[in-house]
């Protein structure tokens, strides 16, 4: 049995006001071809299908066109919602997609997350399709709870959820020698993060070890983190995003995980995804940046500049003019904050496209210089709850 694990497509993303449509189209064409060539039995997509809860029409069209074509070459497709996804958007065509053997699990409350999958009439695997578990799904708020108590309750709630679906899978498995596979959308301890992930829980302090998952499941297909990686010593993997979602991922090789099962033993191979558009980070003073711009041959690249210069405003103007002459796109120019000669207004050049709503809120809190740490944590907690409601 052969499965392919991917996640974090973020269809419909606007990256610093630039559309990723062409990149996503290229990825989905490649993915479909890979599924067919590799003769994949099961496709697992572990959350964040879309970048926002209200994806543009072209993103929905990409999604449904891909699923229609993929259902012709892949026996089973299992999709779980991520923290960026709208439960309502993913859930609307649920029954229709099931006729194409496409299972979409959205909220972890009323749906059957334990899915027996078949090959040639025989059960070949059981997938515990756990989506992003929102705070209200896994724990009940109690008045008087401290922030640490709420964080602990959240961790315990998620662990109990996985234990429950695992026990259901064991009953379904019986004496059959078939793998139990889990999906999830969360951050585990010891995993590598990039700048493009949004904090998804209060305090962002989940204490879930990879060993907790690997002690139960034969393979764990995780989403949320955008760097492809193995966590721990077992078969717990993040597939990562198929395209770089921030300049911090500019040099990261994107891939999907292809997993081959021989009974209960799995062999995992990372299959590299071709890069449609490069992201480049240039660092230095004006002369160094201008020289590097002239050496760039591909005009399709997107560029972020980290500038160290005594006259940054003048350097910014010259660099952007040069890029325009060369037909190159500079999406962000950041002035090195270590330069002592810079004025505060010159330093604050961070685009809102580069930061999450929570980061904006935290920066606003910094200006207030609150001395009451308990009040500050409470404000962050309440803002996170509001943000979670908005993103549903």
Rg, C-alpha atoms of the chain:
23
Three-class HEC string of 273-332? CCCCCCEEEEEECHHHHHHHHHHCCCCCCEEEEEECCCCHHHHHHHHHHHHHHHCCEEEE
Instruction: Give the pLDDT confidence score for residue 301 in this predicted structure.
Output: 96
Instruction: Give the pLDDT confidence score for residue 350 in this predicted structure.
Output: 47
Instruction: Give the pLDDT confidence score for residue 338 in this predicted structure.
Output: 57
- What dihedral angle (degrees, nearest 10) is formed by the CA atoms of 299, 305, 308, 312? 90
Instruction: Give the pLDDT confidence score for residue 389 in this predicted structure.
Output: 66
Instruction: Give the pLDDT confidence score for residue 140 in this predicted structure.
Output: 55
Instruction: Give the pLDDT confidence score for residue 388 in this predicted structure.
Output: 66
Instruction: Give the pLDDT confidence score for residue 80 in this predicted structure.
Output: 97
Instruction: Give the pLDDT confidence score for residue 78 in this predicted structure.
Output: 98
Burial of 304 (0-12, 13-18, 19+ CB in 10 A): buried
pTM: 0.83
CA distance 109 to 114: 12
Instruction: Give the pLDDT confidence score for residue 344 in this predicted structure.
Output: 46
Instruction: Give the pLDDT confidence score for residue 392 in this predicted structure.
Output: 56
Alpha helices, DSSP H only, in 332-372? 344-347, 357-368
Whose structure tokens read 């109690």?
Answer: 142
Instruction: Give the pLDDT confidence score for residue 154 in this predicted structure.
Output: 82
- Retrieve residue 212's tokens: 């907790």
* Per-residue model confidence as pLDDT tens for the chain (392 residues): 899 999 999 999 999 989 999 999 999 999 999 999 999 999 999 999 999 999 999 999 999 999 999 999 999 999 999 999 999 999 999 889 998 989 999 988 878 999 999 998 899 999 999 999 987 777 654 444 555 666 678 888 899 999 999 999 999 999 999 999 999 999 888 777 766 666 665 445 567 888 999 999 999 999 999 999 999 888 999 999 999 999 999 999 999 999 999 888 899 999 999 999 999 999 999 999 999 999 999 999 999 999 998 888 899 999 999 999 999 999 999 987 654 444 444 444 444 445 567 777 877 777 776 767 777 777 887 787 787 666 55
Instruction: Give the pLDDT confidence score for residue 283 in this predicted structure.
Output: 94
Instruction: Give the pLDDT confidence score for residue 390 in this predicted structure.
Output: 65
Instruction: Give the pLDDT confidence score for residue 345 in this predicted structure.
Output: 44
CA distance 257 to 267: 10
CA nearest 48: which of 158, 135, 131? 131
Instruction: Give the pLDDT confidence score for residue 219 in this predicted structure.
Output: 97
Residue ranges and CATH numbers for the domains of the chain are: 2-272 (3.60.21.10), 279-390 (no CATH)
**b/e string for 160-181 if b means 16 or more Cβ within 10 A?**
ebbeebbebbeeebeeeebbbb
């Amino acid at each position: 049995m052969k499965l392919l694990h991917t996640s974090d497509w973020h269809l419909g993303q606007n990256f610093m006001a630039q559309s990723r449509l062409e990149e996503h189209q290229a990825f989905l064409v490649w993915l479909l071809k890979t599924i067919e060539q590799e003769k994949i039995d099961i496709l697992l997509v572990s959350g964040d299908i879309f970048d926002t809860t209200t994806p543009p029409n072209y993103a929905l069209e990409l999604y449904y066109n891909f699923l229609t074509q993929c259902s012709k070459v892949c026996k089973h497709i299992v999709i779980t919602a991520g923290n960026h996804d709208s439960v309502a958007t993913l859930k609307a065509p649920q029954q229709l997609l099931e006729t194409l053997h496409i299972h979409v699990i959205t909220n972890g409350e009323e749906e059957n997350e334990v899915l027996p999958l078949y090959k040639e009439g025989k059960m070949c695997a059981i997938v515990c399709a756990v989506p992003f578990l929102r705070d209200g799904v896994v724990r009940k708020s109690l008045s008087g709870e401290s922030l640490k108590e709420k964080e602990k309750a959240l961790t315990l709630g998620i662990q109990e959820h996985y234990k429950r679906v695992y026990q259901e899978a064991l009953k379904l498995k019986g004496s059959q020698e078939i793998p139990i596979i889990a999906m999830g959308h969360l951050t585990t301890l010891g995993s590598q993060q990039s700048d493009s992930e949004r904090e998804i829980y209060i305090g962002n302090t989940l204490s879930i070890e990879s060993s907790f998952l690997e002690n139960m499941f034969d393979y764990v297909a995780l989403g949320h983190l955008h760097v492809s990686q193995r966590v721990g010593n077992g078969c717990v993997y993040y597939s990562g995003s198929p395209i770089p979602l921030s300049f911090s991922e500019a040099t990261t090789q994107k891939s999907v995980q292809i997993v081959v099962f021989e009974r209960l033993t799995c062999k995992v191979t990372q299959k590299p995804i071709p890069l449609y558009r490069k992201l480049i980070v240039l660092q230095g003073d004006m002369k160094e940046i201008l020289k590097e711009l002239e050496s760039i041959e591909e005009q399709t690249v997107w560029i972020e500049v980290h500038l160290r210069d005594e006259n940054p405003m003048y350097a910014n103007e010259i660099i952007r003019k040069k890029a325009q002459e060369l037909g190159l796109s500079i999406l962000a120019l950041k002035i090195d904050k270590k330069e002592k000669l810079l004025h505060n207004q010159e330093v604050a050049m961070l685009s809102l496209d580069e930061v999450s709503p929570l980061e904006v809120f935290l920066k606003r809190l910094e200006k207030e210089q609150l001395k009451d740490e308990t009040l500050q944590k409470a404000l962050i907690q309440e803002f996170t709850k509001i943000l979670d409601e908005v993103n549903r």
